[in-house]
Amino acid sequence: MAASYTGRVSREVPSPGASRRSDRRPGQTIRKVLDAGLEELRESSYAHLTMRAVAQRAGVSPASAYTYFSSKSALVAAVYLRLLRELPLHTDVNDTTKTRVSATLRDMALIVTDEPELTAGCGAALMADDPAVTPLRSEIADEVARRIGAALGPGWPRAVKSTLQMTFAGALMTARFLPYPEIAGQLDEAVNLILGASVA
């Protein structure tokens, strides 16, 4: 199972013998591989992305790269998770609930829309039938739920939160096919419908 980037040392420590040499700086290696994966994806495409090329760019052995990311799908999903975690939280009480939630959904769904190959790669990776992606999808879902909950504030029913999460998932998938202004507008419309006209 691939370990995901958390900003700290990987939560899943490879077993002894997973690579030819023990990695004494796993956090640094993970950051290098994620950075290299993002650069490769920007310069090439998801279809042509290879772990060997990523490892070479990162300055690590292919075995080291595979220790943390057992497939390119897992790597790209981890890249998206890191980008997601770097986004600001929208929790300013001086903004309306709709403003905070709309900003949160737009940020998360449109984080890669200005880079077509990255958008396509993230969409394909997250939908891949790859066991290594499963734990990353769970982490992404947890992060999405946390951000939506923070933007909403207390007192909202669970159904509202889950509907917003599904709205985000749909926006992420359609980001490959629709221009930024159209997605942003549709997200704002969805938030208005979900939260209700009576909510500021």
Count, residues in the chain: 200
- Give pLDDT, residue 77: 93
Cα–Cα distance measured from residue 135 to residue 109, given in angstroms and rounded to the nearest whole number: 20
Asked if residue 75 is part of any domain, the answer here is no
With a cut of 80, say whether residue 148 has pLDDT above it.
yes
Cα–Cα distance measured from residue 41 to residue 118, given in angstroms and rounded to the nearest whole number: 6
Asked if residue 12 is part of any domain, the answer here is no
Cα–Cα distance measured from residue 97 to residue 75, given in angstroms and rounded to the nearest whole number: 34
Asked if residue 123 is part of any domain, the answer here is yes
- Give pLDDT, residue 8: 36
Cα–Cα distance measured from residue 173 to residue 176, given in angstroms and rounded to the nearest whole number: 6
Tokens 């990523």 belong to 54
Asked if residue 58 is part of any domain, the answer here is no
DSSP one-letter string for 25-62: -HHHHHHHHHHHHHHHHHHS-TTT--HHHHHHHHTS-H
Q: Percentage of the chain with pLDDT > 70?
A: 86
**What domain range is 129 assigned to?**
84-195
Asked if residue 97 is part of any domain, the answer here is yes
Asked if residue 7 is part of any domain, the answer here is no
Average pLDDT of every residue of the chain: 85
Q: Which residue has the higher pLDDT, 18 or 68?
A: 68
With a cut of 60, say whether residue 4 has pLDDT above it.
no
Asked if residue 35 is part of any domain, the answer here is no
What's the number of domains the chain is made of? Answer: 1
Residue 62 burial by Cβ neighbours in a 10 Å radius (0-12, 13-18, 19+): middle
Asked if residue 10 is part of any domain, the answer here is no
Cα–Cα distance measured from residue 36 to residue 46, given in angstroms and rounded to the nearest whole number: 13
pLDDT tens figures, 28-84: 999 999 999 999 988 888 889 999 999 999 999 999 999 999 999 999 999 999 999
With a cut of 50, say whether residue 17 has pLDDT above it.
no
- Give pLDDT, residue 107: 92
